[in-house]
Amino acid sequence: MGRLLEGKVAVVTGSGQGVGREIAFELARHGAKVVTNNRKPVGKNESSGNVTKDMEKAMSADRRAWFEKELADCSGDAETTARAIRDGGGEATAFFGNISDFETAGELIGTAVKAYGSADILFNVAGAFGFSPIETMTPELWDRVNRVKPLGYFNTIRHAVPHMIEKRWGRIINCTSRAWLGDVIKHAEYCAANGGVVSLTRAVAIELRDRGITANAFSPFARTRAAVDLEMYDKIVPEGEKAWVDPKFTVAYDKTPAPDMVAPFLVYLATDAAAHVSGTVFSVAGNRVGRYSDPEVASAVYKEGGKWTVEEFIATGNRTIFSDYKSLADR
């Protein structure tokens, strides 16, 4: 196997389990020294909090057994990931801390520089989520999710970029979600957070394009602890509180690809071979990789000699700017 990242130092937030863990493993396989991260040590069978303890108590024995098994299969934290890398002959250091705090994010990047002398590659995979109809969503849920994305991602980027500028080489790869386009799940706070990630990534890519630094984003589809929570949540909440806007959009849990499937392409983005790739959002699902198009104006109408009136739009809109239009809800 090629050592494509020999001599590089990578920081991976949210790498205790799931997609982040597999990215950390893949980076190490290609020779990178890795600093792993999540907020705190994770206990056995610990969920992300959306399926509450009261919900667990109300589960049937069969459902509880399934839930605990799936959580066990995807449990772990920064230290278990780092230890697995070291056991495999690689170099890795764990850092526990919440990147939504600016100083803590600085300590994370500082750990990479102190331990290995650099911070060349930054994977932001950390995230938070929750389910709620917009009409009952609490400010606490909004803040909890948006403090990680995009705020936490800004924090790590802000501390890592000076080191990348100094070396005139850097790779920033941020985890977003298909939710950046709006979603068929009731989590508007998560949609906003991931939309912020896309905008932040594109802005950083443009700003740093002449510094040898790339920035890209990826939307993964993989079986993770979040997928376990979503699967169980909709089975136990009352009908009116279910996460999906419409049940027909539900994806079967057992059809969801394993998280290790997405790692190779994402680590490719960190190599010299991808130096020309920046400011792009990718969809990665199993062995399928997709590239999103850039947003652009789809239709326009212009009036000579003055401003429009409301009445003119009523009279002409359906045969001009809205001639081929469908609302987002109908697409």
Give the model confidence (pLDDT) of 99-109 as tens digits.
999 999 999 99
Spatial distance between the Cα atoms of 259 and 89, rounded to a whole number of angstroms: 22
Q: Does domain 9-42+77-222+257-291 have CATH number 3.20.20.150?
A: no
Q: Check whether 1 has a pLDDT greater than 80.
A: no
Angle between the N-to-C axes of helices 102-116 and 153-167, in degrees from 0 to 180, rounded to the nearest 10: 40
Q: Average pLDDT of 159-169?
A: 98
Q: Average pLDDT of 183-189?
A: 87
Round the average pLDDT of the chain to a whole number and report it. 89
Q: How would you class 260 by CB atoms within 10 Å of its CB: exposed for 0-12, middle for 13-18, buried for 19 or more?
A: middle
Secondary element (H or E) of residue 9? strand 9-13
Q: Where are the domains of the chain?
A: 9-42+77-222+257-291, 298-331
Give the model confidence (pLDDT) of 235-289 as tens digits.
666 666 666 677 666 667 677 788 899 999 999 999 999 999 999 999 999 999 9
Q: pTM, whole model, 2 decimals?
A: 0.89
Residue 172: pLDDT band by 50, 70, 90 thresholds?
Answer: very high
Q: Average pLDDT of 97-121?
A: 98
Lowest mean pLDDT among 2-11, 73-82, 147-156: 73-82
Alpha helices, H only, the chain: 18-29, 53-58, 61-73, 78-87, 102-116, 139-146, 153-167, 188-207, 225-236, 263-268, 310-316
Tell me what pLDDT residue 49 has. Answer: 62
Q: Which residue has better confidence, 73 or 61?
A: 61
Give the model confidence (pLDDT) of 13-65 as tens digits.
999 999 999 999 999 999 999 999 999 998 665 555 666 666 666 667 776 66
Q: Hey, how many other C-beta atoms are within 10 angstroms of the C-beta on 74?
A: 20
Q: Hey, how many other C-beta atoms are within 10 angstroms of the C-beta on 165?
A: 14
Percentage with pLDDT > 90 across the chain: 70
Nearest CA among 31, 2, 27, 3 for reference residue 13: 27
Question: 105 with 50: CB under 8 angstroms?
Answer: no
Q: Which of 192-206, 293-307, 314-328 has the highest mean pLDDT?
A: 192-206
Q: Check whether 157 has a pLDDT greater than 60.
A: yes
Secondary element (H or E) of residue 250? none
According to DSSP, residue 147 is labeled: I
Q: Which of 106-120, 131-145, 251-265, 298-312 has the highest mean pLDDT?
A: 106-120
